[in-house]
Amino acid sequence: MRSVDEHLDAVLAQIEPVAAVTLPVRRALGLVTTADVRSLADLPRFDNSSMDGYAVRRADLDGASPESPVVLPVAGDIAAGDQRRHTLAPGQVWRIMTGAPLPEGADAVVKVEDTDAHPHEPQLRVQPDEGANIRRAGEDVHAGDLVLSAGSRVGAGQIAALLSAGVHEVEVVGPVRVAILSTGDELVRPGEPVGPGQIVDSNGPMLEALVREAGAYVVHVGHLPDDEGATRRQVHRQLEHADLVITTGGVSKGEFDIVKKVLTGEGSMEFVEVAMQPGKPQGFGVLGRRDVPVFTLPGNPVSTLVSFEVFVRPALQRRAGRREGGRLATGLATQGWRSSPERQTYTRVRVDRDPTGAYAVSPAGGAGSHLVAPLATADALAVSDPEATEVAAGSEVDLILLRPRAEIDARLSDDAERAVAERDRAGGAPHGDGR
Ligand code: AMP
Ligand code: MG
């Protein structure tokens, strides 16, 4: 049997980022740049006012103070977006708005708060410093300066910086398009009547959610009967346009485990047993003329989820040119539980806080990989060593978080507040009764 790490290494060794594409900046959200991006403009693009006020020549305001303001005539108004060229003659001021271009000859702006705000003959109560309230062209970046380095993920701030710098298109690792195929004669689509012997396909929609949360794009979610021809046709169809294919079911030792049967010998496909619980039967390979990575995951919903977290998520990230941790944590077991001998065991746990502030974890429901309901309450997977046969109460365990850490922490602090409020209420007698 392969260890989890061996299998993950074998998978990742075959994963390349998808081809780079050039996209309008706004459509690059979430994608990773493949090259340094430099500014096409000076920022700010022109000298402008950082305040609503009056553009002045400092020399005209010698000795100005609240007690002896200087009064000067206004030559006119300059609003943000004014495209004319204005000149400030000695002995005059321009009324100017935030972001408006500075008139030629002005060397400072007196903010409106330091005046009486008169539109034509304002009282100016300070002599500003040289350059006061002026944003100089290029003080932010100069044309040619680096704005975003290669390998950066494009988010909201990056979009603002790039567009301001005059950059409209950006080269990024392309969006990763994922196809998901559930297999099994017993499956019915969510919402359809469930007959005798049938179950709802939960793996397909679960994987769709996982893939989308991981920042990739789902281009197909389908379900297939346990039929060789149909399975072969569908997988090959998806290989034409998807960048990664995930199937579930049909890879165990059953008579009708036809995914394994159909894909054995194709591309670099390998079906192996991995020393993990759940998730032992794993298939992976790179297939078709576009070298598309294909994961064939076991069908039990918990096995599918664990396999996704352990193998598919890292592969998706590499395909997208990303490397991210952030989902790992540690916690203390509040009670003991058994773990499978010689297999790395993933136990669904609920996360609470212990009195020291650490995460305290306890199993969410039973251990069976078919037990789907506890997925609704599990916050994390606790990972226990292949050597161990149990996790002892009080021991530290590694966690793979199933929700964003911030979301878990928010729930825990809500819980803590509620507990304090409850205690106060139970303790009663806020006005004291002499006890
Ligand atoms: P298999 O790997 O095909 O042998 O399936 C293992 C178990 O997982 C069986 O009990 C299946 O009914 C169940 N299963 C397979 N696919 C799905 C699915 N898409 N949604 C929910 N359960 C499934
Ligand atoms: Mg099946």
Q: What is the pLDDT of residues 379-432, one digit of tens each?
A: 999 999 899 999 999 999 999 999 999 999 999 999 889 989 999 998 865 554
pLDDT at 326: 74
Q: What is the pLDDT of residue 434?
A: 42
For residue 246, the ligand closest to its alpha carbon is: 1
Three-state DSSP class for 147? strand
Based on the domain organization, do 31 and 54 belong to the same domain?
no
Write down the pLDDT at residue 433. Answer: 47
Distance between CA atoms of residues 371 and 362, nearest Å = 16
Q: Give me the residues paired with residue 187 across strands.
A: 199
pLDDT greater than 80 at residue 435:
no
Domain end position, chosen among 319, 350, 371: 319
Mutation to probe ligand 1, out of 192, 199, 246, 258 (largest number of atoms < 8 A from CB): 199
Gap between the Cα atoms of 339 and 274, Å rounded: 15
- In ligand 1, the atom with minimum distance to the C-alpha of 251 is 2
Q: Are residues 214 and 312 in the same domain?
A: yes
Q: Which of 206, 208, 226, 248 to mutate to test the pocket of ligand 1 (most atoms within 8 A of CB)?
A: 248
Q: How confident is the model at residue 365 (pLDDT cuts 50, 70, 90)?
A: confident
> What pLDDT score does 368 carry?
86
CB of 298 closer than 6 A to ligand 1? yes
Distance 227 CA to ligand 2 centre (A): 11
Other Cβ atoms less than 10 A from the Cβ of 321: the count is: 21
Q: Whose CA is nearest to atom 15 of ligand 1?
A: 299
Backbone angles phi, psi at 6, to 5 degrees: -60, -45
Q: Do 60 and 130 belong together in one domain?
A: yes
**Residue 298 included in any domain:** yes
Task: Evaluate whether 162 touches 152 at the Cβ level (below 8 Å).
Answer: no
In a shared domain, residues 309 and 378: no
Q: Are residues 333 and 417 in the same domain?
A: yes
Indicate the residue type of 17.
P
Asked if residue 299 and residue 235 are part of one domain, the reply reads yes
231 lines ligand 1 (CB under 6 A): no
Structural domain total, the chain:
4
Q: Would 430 be classed as within a structural domain?
A: no
Q: What is the pLDDT of residue 323?
A: 84
pLDDT the model gives residue 431: 52
Q: What pLDDT score was predicted for residue 430? A: 52
**Ligand located closest to 253 CA:** 1
Same domain, 184 and 287: yes
Which residue owns the Cα nearest ligand 1 atom 17?
A: 299
Over residues 264-303, the pLDDT tens digits come to 999 999 999 999 999 999 999 999 999 999 999 999 999 9
Which domain does 394 fall in, by range? 328-424
Domain end point (choices 135, 164, 196): 135
Same-domain check for residues 292 and 304: yes
Q: Are strands 344-353 and 380-384 parallel, antiparallel or unpaired?
A: antiparallel
Instruction: Answer yes or no: do 299 and 281 share one domain.
Output: yes
Residue 238 belongs to a domain: yes
**Coil, strand, or helix at residue 223?**
strand
Same domain, 158 and 179: no
The pLDDT of 65-92, averaged and rounded, is 98
Q: pLDDT tens for residues 93-127?
A: 999 999 999 999 999 999 999 999 999 999 999 99
Is residue 325's pLDDT more than 80? no
Assign residue 379 the CATH number of its domain.
2.40.340.10
Is 434 among the domain residues?
Answer: no
The alpha carbon of 257 and the centre of ligand 2 are apart by a number of angstroms equal to: 6
Residue 141 lies in a domain: no
- Is residue 432 in some structural domain? no
Domain of residue 95, CATH code: 2.170.190.11
Tell me the average pLDDT of the chain.
Answer: 95
Distance from Cα 296 to the centre of ligand 1, integer Å: 12
229: pLDDT strictly greater than 70: yes
pLDDT at 432: 45
- Assess if residue 140 is contained within a domain: no
> Which numbered ligand comes closest to the C-alpha of 202?
1
Is 39 a pocket residue for ligand 1 (Cβ < 6 Å)?
A: no
Judged by DSSP in three states, 158 sits in helix
- Domain of 32, CATH number, reads 3.90.105.10
Question: What is the arithmetic mean of pLDDT over 200-227?
Answer: 97
Same domain? 196 vs 303: yes
Q: In the prediction, which pLDDT does 250 show?
A: 95
Q: Which residue has the tokens 């004669």?
A: 185
For 88, left (φ over 0), alpha (ψ -120 to 50), or beta? beta
pLDDT at 322 over 60: yes
Please tell me whether residues 312 and 347 are part of one structural domain: no
26-42 pLDDT, tens digit per residue, is 999 999 999 999 999 99
Does residue 300 fall inside a structural domain?
Answer: yes
Q: How is residue 94 written in tokens?
A: 């321009």
Q: Where are the beta strands (DSSP E) in 235-322?
A: 244-248, 270-273, 276-277, 281-287, 292-297
